[in-house]
Structure 1
Amino acid sequence: MLSYDELTAPERALWNAFPEGRRVDVRTGVPENDRVAGGGRWGPERTVRASVIAALLLGANTPQPGTVARLGLAGARISGRLDLAGAQVAHALWLEDCWFEEGVDLLGASTQSIAMVGCRVPGVEAGVIRVEGRLDLRRSHLEGGSASPFHRRVTALSLINAQVSGVVNLNGAELTAPGRWALSAGGLVAEGGVYCQHGFVAHGEIRLMGAQLPGGLHMRGARLTGPGPSGVALALDNAAASTLDFSDGFTANGTVRLRGTRISDNLTFEGAFLNGPPDGAGPSLVAMLMQAVDFDFTLARPPSGIVDLRGAQVSYLHDSDRSWPEVVELDGFVYGSIKVDEDGERREAVGRRDSVARRVAWVRRGPDYNPQPYEQLADWYRKAGHDDDARRVLLAKQRHRRRTLPRAARVWGHLLDATVGYGYRPWLAGVWLLSLTLLGTLTFGAHSPTPAKRGEGAPFQPLVYTLDLLIPIGGLGQRTAWYWPNGGLQGLAYLLIAFGWVLTTAVIAGVTRALQKN
């Protein structure tokens, strides 16, 4: 148990100020002497033992009636380890521009608001903490620390399964744990959201898997570098948030992973840089089964790695020419509307002159043939009232599918494409029929055929004779009544009969395929 006589001058000042909630500031006022990076050189006149801070927070100096006790300290060197693991802390803690010799252990504690602003701390362990208020770590530099003296240094900040009723404020902070976890916060519940803006930097992986963030995750302009062995810069698998803001120069040198993440409002990457893992071997964005209302993917430049949106669902998609890499996984991706960003303006993508060509090229960025992206794109055009564009997309789907078929099936596919456009261009059959009819009428009309039975049958009519050859069903009486001794003309007749069967079969197959939407 600490006694007052054992305290140093700055500790006595803190002891006396605590019951009245006054803040103790031991800074010199000289900027070069007050830089936290040089806190290791601060002497006894600026040193406070961590055990004194813990004792005050745990009730060593009882507050007077009518006052609100809180601990406020600025510009101090904190010696020893601040250990409040499992503690019930009824007082707010405010530390500003302090330099910690050792890490901070808040594992399993229940506390009021905690602020360590502009501090240098070798690791904060706050797993399973319960904070009635905010957790404020603005401008602080947290380095990979250890949860206990028996654990190796791994995480700069641990908030695993923590619950914070207010905000988690990491604006301007720097978390350093290269090749490891800069922030481990799986299962975090932050009612007021998590803020990592205004110069936030993380050297190491940010892990928020399964986090509940009603106030959202805000990382405007944040820089994530030095991912772990997995190549992941940010992992938000199965998290739930009102909004995810990765805009305004947000940079991720590693994979951003949003598998199964549910965003009730806005997901934005406007002006972001998704560089993927440094070795280029991993994807830039993995958002499989992600759900969002508004998905803004107007990046500052195309991602360096794959973008995986398989099974994702969004109501509104915003993209631009800088949004997509060479490979995009779109199988199962569902969207209700697409808008493009051009010259700083958002415009409807449907109805534009090159809309179908651009969108089909987008779908074909997938590594393999999958029908669903084409069907989804066609459905979007159809719902927008552009049925012709929808048919063009479905025709492109059949042409892409044809590349995956055996040779014989590809030949038949080319025939269907040339004759009826797989059923999406039935007017092609009319063009072929008209051309062949004209060819037969002119050729047969310039020659005299031989009657099958002299003096019997209707007079020879070149047009009717040609139609009788081309139409395989029924008969007009000309084909059986006349023949050609000339081998060339007889060969033309056989050719027209064959074309008639091919055209009829192609029309039936193409229309059936279109109706079935295969």
Structure 2
Amino acid sequence: MAQDDPPDEWSTRERLMWEAYRSGEWCEDVPELRGTALRHLLVTAPSPHRGCQARLWLRGAHITGELDLAEVTVAGSVRLDRCSFDATPRLDNAHLDAAFELRACTMPGLSLVGARVAHECEITACTVTGTVDLRSLTVGNRLSLTDTALHPPHGKAALDAQSVEVGEDFWASALDCTGAVLLNSARIQDVLVLRGTRISGDAGLRAPELTVGGGLFMDSGFTGTGQINLYGASIGGSIRMEDCQLAGPGTGPGAYALLMCAAEVGGDIWSGHGLVVHGPVILSDTSVRGSVFFKGARFDVSSTMPSTDAALNASRLRVGGDLNCRDGFIAQGMINLRDSRFGGSALFEGAELNALNGQPALNANGVETGGALLCTGFTVHGRISLINVTVRSRVCLDDAVLDTPADESALSFLGSSTATLSLRMREAPAGVIDLRHSKIGLLEDAPAAWPTGMILDGAAYDSLHPALPARERLPWLGRDPAGFVPQPYEQLAATYRRQGQDADARAVLVARHRRMRRTLPPPARLWSLLQDATVGYGYRPLRAVWLLLCLLTTGTACFAVWPPMAVGDGTPPPFQPAIYTLDLLLPLVDLGQERSYAPSGMMQWSAVALIGTGWLLATTVAAGATRVLRRN
């Protein structure tokens, strides 16, 4: 038998395949072929007819027995269209120097473990009732599993492509899998496309340490009912998840819907409207060079996770641009952004956040943004925690609704700093807003939306808007659940003083002492009342002047009618009622009248009253003046 002739025992139909291979034409009139005949053809590789290219293009054949091409080198391209297999084709460690294509084929499985395909490897519109095993497969150009249905036995993986290497794109759009898809440590030079793919089963998509040079597309109807594991993945371009539905399996620790911890994304994460996730989404320690868009997305752990897991756990997330959760974003469960960094802004305008199991609705403790934190018009059922936050631009809660029970925390802005904090909410929160030890450039609010409880101890701000007079702003300071705290009064007074409103500053400081008076024991309270009545705690010194004038006038009139008697052996100076009264009123001042004349009868008690009043008045004035000078 010549090398270019088929074996003698081959059937007529198998000989037709032989000749079609040599001429490079489609072989379509062979309904049934042996797998061993196919192997012999590809191993023997007869030379092509003159002017032709040898290749196996086979259509509509049923392959009986096993097609075993393990460790075989195939020179020409292999394309099988609408063929069926009795057994799993095996090409483990095979070398295919051209393209390999299975289109609309039916088979119980497929094994290409360790194989090398120089050009395209396409498994398109096929139906596989077992596992497609592509572990360590190397493809020079494109790898495609588009429109393929993989339905392995229960508990088996549908697609095992661990450590696969693809020189260009990996297309698996409209893939229908009822088992796990494994892409552990896979390396794809360009894009990974999973548009419209359906993955069911608890195992889901496992792709830890996945490397994609371009983008990852899980959009256009992508559905995953198991866990999507992208731990440590490196995506050079963007991740797109529009019109995507994810449902994590079961309950309990570790049962997530999407895990993308410690990942790197060179572009954006796009979701937009249509992203619905039932189960936790974990983006902790991930770095995104662009922005993260969750506009109109819905994250829900209310039914699938009755534990304390967050709906979105993005702690220590690093984003070069914005975090965009605008336009109808809904979360049933906590949004955890703890210690995250955003080069742009964090946007929650028009969002709705719902806390579960006593957790915060939004936990952004330690967050830093290069732009703003905008929560305009959003609704929160639960508390917001913004402790130790640094926002370069503004924190805005205008037209927001903070729904928390009375006396519970609605917003904690403890130890945080921002250029502008705007609290012009749609309605007054029943809960407490805590601004302790915060640093704010401009604090904007609306009297109609002042919360029932507000903690301002240690808060520092440069200015307030609207610029209300002190009598209208003072009720704002009396809402601390702990009662009287002096620092907020000092801060408000300092703000008025910087703006040149000294009268308002004094009114605030007087109100501070009056409020503090309620906390003092009775003797100190009486002394405080005396300082208030006489000199306004040192901030209203004209009161002392008028009081002195009144006492001086009264005393002068009385002593003019009932003059005292001269005392002593010498000649007393002429009696002057006004000077005598002034000598009684001013302690430590000797005008010569008091020691030269002594009143008698009822006028003695008048003199004692003037002396005592003078001492009290002088002491009060000195205390008030000392307090003002110390503050200045």
TM-score bin (small chain): 0.7 to 0.9
Aligned to 2:259: 125
CA drift of 1:388 comes to: 2.3
Equivalent in 543, 548, 565 of residue 433 of structure 1 = 548
Matched, 1:82 2:196: no
Give the Cα separation in 2 of the matches to 1:377 and 1:161: 41
Residue in 1 that maps onto 2:42: none
Q: Which has the higher contact order (CA 8 A, sep 6+)?
A: 1
CA contact (8 A) 1:234 1:255 kept: yes
Whole-Å separation in 1 of the counterparts to 2:590 and 2:198: 105
Q: Of 506, 515, 523, which residue of structure 2 is paired with 1:391?
A: 506
Give the one of 172, 176, 197 matched to 2:300: 176
- Is residue 73 of structure 1 aligned with residue 188 of structure 2? no
Question: What displacement does 1:458 show?
Answer: 2.5
Deviations 1:100-159, CA, capped at 9 Å, x for gaps: 2223111111123221212110111111111121112222444444xxxxxxxxx2x100
Q: SS of the residue aligned with 2:530?
A: helix
Post-superposition shift, 1:21? 11
1:420 maps to 2:535: yes
Residue 258 (str. 1) matches residue 383 (str. 2): no
Secondary structure of 1:284 counterpart:
strand
Q: Provide, for residues 323-366 of structure 1, a one-character-per-residue CA deviation record: whole Å limited to 9, x for no partner.
A: 421221111111112122xxxxxxxx1xx5xx112222222222
- Between stretches 458-467 and 448-457, larger displacement belongs to 448-457
User: Normalising to structure 1: TM-score of the pair?
Assistant: 0.82
Separation of aligned partners in 1, 2:147 and 2:349: 32
Q: Contact (CA 8 Å) 1:14, 1:73: kept in 2 or not?
A: no
SS in 1 for 2:442: strand
Change (3 A) 1:268 1:410: same
After superposition, what is the alpha-carbon deviation per residue over 1:237-289, rounded to whole angstroms, capped at 9, x for unaligned?
Answer: 1111123444432111111111001111121111111123xx54520100111
d(CA) in 1 for partners of 2:542 and 2:462? 31
Alignment of 1:293-304 (within 5 A): 293-304=419-430
Cα distance in 2, alignment partners of residues 14 and 139 from structure 1: 32
TM-score (norm. length: structure 2): 0.68
Partners of 2:374 and 2:408 lie apart in 1 by 20
Contact persistence 2:123–2:146 (CA under 8 A): no
Displacement after TM superposition at 1:298 (Å): 1.2
Deviation, structure 1 residue 91: 4.2
Q: Which blocks of at least 5 consecutive residues in structure 2 are unaligned?
A: 1-89, 92-99, 107-121, 128-139, 149-172, 248-256, 303-307
Q: Which one of 411, 414, 418 corresponds to residue 292 of structure 1?
A: 418
Deviation of 1:370 after TM superposition, in Å, equals 2.7
1:150 is aligned to none
Aligned to 2:370, what secondary structure does the other structure show? strand
The secondary structure found in structure 1 opposite 2:350 is coil
Q: Is the aligned partner of 1:110 residue 2:234?
A: yes
- Secondary structure at the counterpart of residue 289 of structure 1: coil
Instruction: Return 5+ residue gaps in structure 1 as ranges.
Output: 27-44, 146-154, 341-348
1:228 equivalent to 2:356? Answer yes
Contact 2:415/2:435 (8 A) holds in 1: yes
Quick check: 2:454–2:479 contact (8 Å CA) kept in 1?
yes
- Following TM superposition, the consecutive aligned residue runs of length 4 or more in structure 1 with deviations greater than 4 angstroms are 1-11, 18-26, 50-57
The answer to whether the Cα contact below 8 Å between 2:102 and 2:123 also exists between their aligned partners in 1 is no
Structure 2 counterpart SS, 1:209: coil
Which residue of structure 2 aligns with residue 31 of structure 1?
Answer: none
Counterpart AA for 2:428: P
Select which of 335, 341, 347 maps to 1:218. Answer: 347
SS of residue paired to 2:426: coil
- Note if contact 2:104-2:126 (Cα within 8 Å) is conserved in structure 1: no
Deviation at 1:453, TM superposition (A): 5.1
Instruction: Give the CA deviation at 1:90.
Output: 3.0
- Paired amino acid for 1:163: S
Letter of the 1:364 counterpart:
G
Contact 1:139–1:171 (CA<8 Å) still a contact in 2?
A: yes
Once the two structures are superposed, what CA deviation does each residue of 1:196-250 show, in whole Å capped at 9, x if it has no partner?
011100000010000011122111000001x133441101111111234444321
- CA drift at 1:5: 4.8
CA contact (8 A) 1:23 1:73 kept: no
Moved more, 470-479 or 121-130: 470-479
Secondary structure at 2:232 match in 1: coil
- Asked if 1 retains the 8 angstrom alpha-carbon contact of 2:102 and 2:126, the reply is no
The aligned residue for residue 479 of structure 2 is: 365
Structure whose CA Rg is larger: 2
**Which residue is 1:463 aligned to?**
578
Of 368, 372, 381, which aligns to 1:240?
A: 368
1:324 corresponds to: 450
> Structure 2 CA distance, aligned partners of 1:339 and 1:8?
72
Percent identity, aligned pairs only? 32
Match for residue 319 of structure 2 among 190, 196, 210 = 190
What number of residue pairs does the alignment pair up? Answer: 465
1:517 aligned partner: 631
Moved more, 404-413 or 361-370: 361-370
Q: Give the SS at the match of 2:333.
A: strand
CA distance in 2, matches of 1:24, 1:135: 23
Secondary structure, counterpart of 2:300 in structure 1 = strand
How far off its partner does 1:173 sit? 0.4
Query: What's 1:151 paired with?
Result: none
The change in CA–CA distance for 1:21 and 1:215 in structure 2 (over 3 A counts) is farther
Measured in 2, the distance between the counterparts of 1:12 and 1:56 equals 22
Report the 3-state secondary structure (helix = DSSP H, G, I; strand = E; otherwise coil) of the residue aligned with 2:267. strand
Q: One-letter code of the match for 1:450?
A: M
- 1:55 Cα deviation from its structure 2 partner: 5.9
**CA displacement at 1:455 relative to structure 2:** 8.5
Distance 1:21 1:516, change over 3 A: farther
Name the SS of the counterpart of 1:96 in structure 2: coil
What RMSD in Å do the two structures reach over aligned CA positions? 3.1
1:328-407 equivalence runs, <5 A: 328-340=454-466, 349=467, 352=468, 355-366=469-480, 367-407=482-522
Q: Distance in 2 between matches of 1:160 and 1:297?
A: 30
CA distance in 2, matches of 1:322, 1:175: 33
Offset, 1:89: 2.5
Matches of 1:325 and 1:275 in 2, distance apart? 11
Q: Is 1:480 the counterpart of 2:595 in the alignment?
A: yes
Cα offset, 1:190, TM superposition: 1.1
Note the C-alpha offset of 1:389: 2.0
